[in-house]
Amino acid sequence: MTRSLIIFILLAPFVFGTLDALWRQRKFSIAGSSLTLVALGILWLTKQADFISIPILLPGIGISYGTQPISLLLASVTGLVWFATSIFSERYMQAEENGARFYLLFGLSVSGAMACFLARDFLGLLLGFEMMSLASYGLVAHSPTRSAQRAAKLYLYLGVISGVLLTTGLAMLWNQAGTLEYAQLHNIPLSISVLLSLGFAIKAGAFPLHFWLPEAHPVAPSPGSALLSGILIKTGAFGLLLVASLTAQGRTYGLAVIVVALITMSLGVLLALVQRDAKRLLAYHSVSQMGYILLGIGLWAFERNALGFGGAVFHIVNHAIFKSALFLICGSALLAASTVDLYRLGFMRKVFGWATPLALIPALGIAGVPGFNGYISKTLLHEALLEAKLPSVFLGIADKVFVLVAFGTVCSFIKFSWYIFFADHDNTCEPARASKAEVIGIGTLSAFVVGLGVFPQPVLNAIASGLADLGVAWPPHLALHGSHALQNTGVVLVGGIVLYFVCLYTGLFHLHLPGQTPMLALTEGLLRVVVMVSRWVSGLAAKVNGVFGGWRREGLRILKRSLQALDYKPSSQTSLRALSVTNLNFNVYVVMGVLSVLLAFYPFIVLR
């Protein structure tokens, strides 16, 4: 039965998303996510470890999916976010065009994320990773606006670069180790670890590869933004956690990741403070919160710090929940006022009415207030940092950065909550009330923000089981609500409140930053080169294509009709857009490039 449940969990998002795309009721995803959560619950209760293996065409290579504790935990959170966003989308997508395409791509993205988390080898993870990346590109490109198409291109190109880095790194790893299964891998060379980490870091949004997040998140539909920030970037963090567990030179690798984490945390929160677009603010906080996760991963790699591992995994879970809820709140703002400009809102308390406290809970979670889930994971990470055997000067700097970033997070979400819910002084404004679907979707996630803050033990038990599989013991007694931890949290909350008023009365919230950073300018220059090369290849292929004559045109016409629902380039038509196969040029050559890399390493595989 376990194998059947694994197969169901992997396929259900795509299958039910397709059904939602074909029928107008749009309730299949709700049913599918509910059944998936039931299947995951059965796997938790039975605690029967099992896996499925799928052979593929390359010699000696297969992929397998199983029920390891950490993988099952992250798959469960993915199912929860899918369930909540499916409920919310029932109302939200009524105001959006191309709902069929959205549901199809959303389901495919969730299936890809499930495959990433449940994979027992790097090849299975890569296949899920690439499927998720291509499908989520369509979510970013959902709107026909120029900004959405520009952000989608940036997202696609970086996704391609990520895929090439991962494919190359895994080919090198296979050539050296003869396997890609986690259980059989150990002491991955630093060069391969760096290559894999760069591929995963792009998806995770780590500095200096973070710049796609604030471009992609604001333009995607809010349920899509919730999935992007809540789940998809966590696949990158999960990949980094795997590499950190298997790398040969853990101390060097861990120290480098800690440095990147501290920069990522600081940069994200500083840029978030000056945003007026609510979704852009949340996108920069995704960067900052990813810094927390990277800090735990770095500490784990540096000295097998169990608290660092636990804090990173717990914060992956927590961030998925409260950040998804925050993006759904932005979706409600768009439905009520057609804007997410913080300084044009302020009346959302009238939209949510009695449910306003439910909508405020996610902000309390990300701020790390005791009693909410963010407090648990941030306490674990801070304790892991204080216990780390880092150089004393470096440890002092890291601790101060951790605290200051926490100040900025509290400040940001005081600003977010006040300007969205309470800052409006026009008592004559009477916006439409939030629908039941909106309240239930946000309320479901808010309930888990509170639940995991009050009852963290189930997650801690899963983390302890995952560490036991790695041969590391989880600390038996944790003073998560001890006087020291609560005192530190009190300092952070007071500091965040003080910082809020300083920023408010000095105008720092309205600080205008340069439109383009040197890093973004350099990256855009490199991407222009990629585009130029891809266009040259497309032109060359078009000439070659003409040699074969007109008999292929009829075949292409039939293929075009069969792909009606998958248009990534919206046109002015009101019906389902037809996909022009010629628009697939770049994607086709990317796939050809990846296959070329595999074929380049094929002789090494055969000769082993």
Q: Is 64 helix (H, G, I), strand (E, B) or coil?
A: strand
Please write the tens of the pLDDT for every residue from 69-117: 899 999 999 999 999 999 998 888 876 777 788 888 899 999 999 999 9
Within 10 A of 27 (CB to CB), how many other CB atoms are there? 15
DSSP 230: I
- The per-residue pLDDT for 590 is 52
Domain boundaries defined on the chain = 309-513
Which amino acid does the sequence have at 542? Answer: A
| Residues above pLDDT 90, as percent of the chain | 35
Exposure letters 79-93 (e unless 16+ CB within 10 A, then b): bbbbbbbbbbbbbbb
d(CA 477, CA 217): 40
pLDDT in the model for residue 503: 87
What are the pLDDT digits (tens) for 349-359?
888 888 899 99
Top pLDDT among 588 and 326 is at 326
CB atoms within 10 A of CB 185: 17
Buried residues in 263-277 as b, exposed as e (16+ CB within 10 A): bbbbbbbbbbbbbeb
Report the candidate in 169, 163, 266 with the shortest Cα–Cα distance to residue 208: 266
**Cα separation, 243 vs 241, whole angstroms:** 5
Q: Say what the pLDDT of residue 570 is.
A: 42
Cβ atoms 212, 290 nearer than 8 A = no
Predicted confidence (pLDDT) at residue 223 exceeds the cutoff of 80: yes
pLDDT above 50 for 516: no
Is the per-residue pLDDT at 596 higher than 90?
no
> Is residue 513 predicted with pLDDT exceeding 80?
no
DSSP 120: S
The Cα 291–Cα 263 span in angstroms is: 8
More confident residue, 340 or 537: 340
Count Cβ atoms below 10 Å from residue 278 Cβ, excluding itself. Answer: 24
**Predicted confidence (pLDDT) per residue in 451-509, tens digit:** 999 999 999 999 998 898 888 888 888 888 888 888 888 999 999 999 999 888 888 87
Please list the residues that pair with 65 across neighbouring strands.
Answer: 52, 119
**pLDDT value of position 485:** 86
pLDDT at 567: 38
pLDDT tens-digit profile of 38-50? Answer: 999 998 888 766 6
First to last CA, the chain: 37
Contacts (Cβ under 8 Å, ≥6 apart) of 504:
415
Choice between 167 and 54, residue whose per-residue pLDDT is larger: 167
- pLDDT above 60 (res 151): yes
437 closest CA partner among 330, 278, 336, 328: 328
What is the pairing mode between strands 62-66 and 51-55? Answer: antiparallel
How far apart CA 288 and CA 571 sit, in angstroms, is 36
pLDDT at 186 over 50: yes
**Residues 518-541: what's their mean pLDDT?**
51
Element (H, E) at 285: helix 278-303
Distance between CA atoms of residues 329 and 519, nearest Å: 31
Handedness of CA 520, 523, 529, 535 (dihedral sign): negative
528, pLDDT greater than 70:
no
Under 8 Å between Cβ of 303 and 388: yes
Amino acid at 330: C
User: Higher confidence at residue 513 or residue 10?
Assistant: 10
Q: Is the pLDDT of residue 441 over 60?
A: yes
The residue behind tokens 């000067």 is 393
Which pLDDT value is given to residue 478? 81
Report pLDDT for 588: 45
Cβ partners under 8 Å of residue 247, min gap 6: 187, 188, 190, 193, 253, 301
pLDDT of 248 above 50: yes
Amino acid code (one letter) for 335: L
CA separation for the pair 262, 206 (Å, rounded): 10
Burial 199-229 (b: 16+ CB within 10 A, else e): bbbbbbbbbbbbbbbbbbbbbbbbbbbbbbb
Task: Confirm if 342 and 415 have CB atoms less than 8 A apart.
Answer: yes
Q: Hey, which residues does 62 pair with through a beta bridge?
A: 55
3-state secondary structure of 371: coil
How many residues appear in the chain? 608
Token pair, residue 274, equals: 């000056």
Q: In this predicted structure, what is the pLDDT of residue 555? A: 55
Beta bridge partners of 341: 277
- Kindly report which listed range (113-117, 199-203, 205-209) carries the lowest average pLDDT score: 205-209
The pLDDT mean for the chain works out to: 81
Q: Which long-range contacts (CB under 8 A, 24 or more apart) does 42-49 make?
A: 42/1, 42/5, 43/2, 43/5, 43/6, 43/67, 43/72, 44/72, 44/76, 46/1, 46/2, 48/2
Distant-in-sequence, close-in-space partners of 381: CB < 8 Å, separation ≥ 6:
292, 295, 296, 307, 308, 311, 312, 315, 402
For the four alpha carbons of 332, 335, 341 and 344, in that order, the dihedral sign comes to negative
Residue 542 predicted with pLDDT over 60: no
Q: What is the pLDDT of residue 300?
A: 92
Calculate mean pLDDT across residues 4-8.
Answer: 88
Q: What is the distance between the alpha carbons of residues 348 and 329, in angstroms, rounded to a whole number?
A: 9
| pLDDT for residue 180 | 85
Percent of the chain with pLDDT over 70: 80
pLDDT band at 538 (very low <50, low <70, confident <90, very high): low
90 within 8 A of 26, measured Cβ to Cβ: yes
DSSP secondary structure string for all residues of 141-192: T-S-SHHHHHHHHHHHHHHHHHHHHHHHHHHHHHHHHS--BGGG---B-HHH
